[in-house]
Amino acid sequence: MGTRLAERMAGMTLSERERQVLEFVATGKSNKEIAAALEITEATVKGHMTNILGKLGVTDRTQAVITALRRGLVHL
């Protein structure tokens, strides 16, 4: 059962916008700074972060960045 879950999680891909948000997170930007840079609301950034955490199977921003870097999903 764990293998199936891992396969499903590995198959989930980030949208282009989610990747953009995560790249800003990786550079230390706050939700407010990300929202301003992408011309979206902070609530939208938070929504993207919720999706990112779920897709990557992690619980916080730091884990999301580490996981994304390891998987080659974002680049600094």
pLDDT by position in tens, the chain (length 76): 444 555 455 557 999 999 999 999 999 999 999 999 999 999 999 999 999 999 999 999 999 999 999 999 998 8
- Report the alpha-carbon distance of residue 53 to residue 55 in Å, rounded: 6
Q: Domains of the chain (ranges plus CATH)?
A: 2-71 (1.10.10.10)
**Number of helices (H) and strands (E), helices first, in the chain?**
5, 0
Look at residue 10 in the predicted model and tell me its pLDDT.
53
Give the pLDDT of residue 1: 47
Amino acid found at 58 = V
Residue whose token pair is 């990112």: 52
pTM summary value:
0.83
End-to-end alpha carbon distance in the chain: 35
**pLDDT (0 to 100) of residue 75:** 86
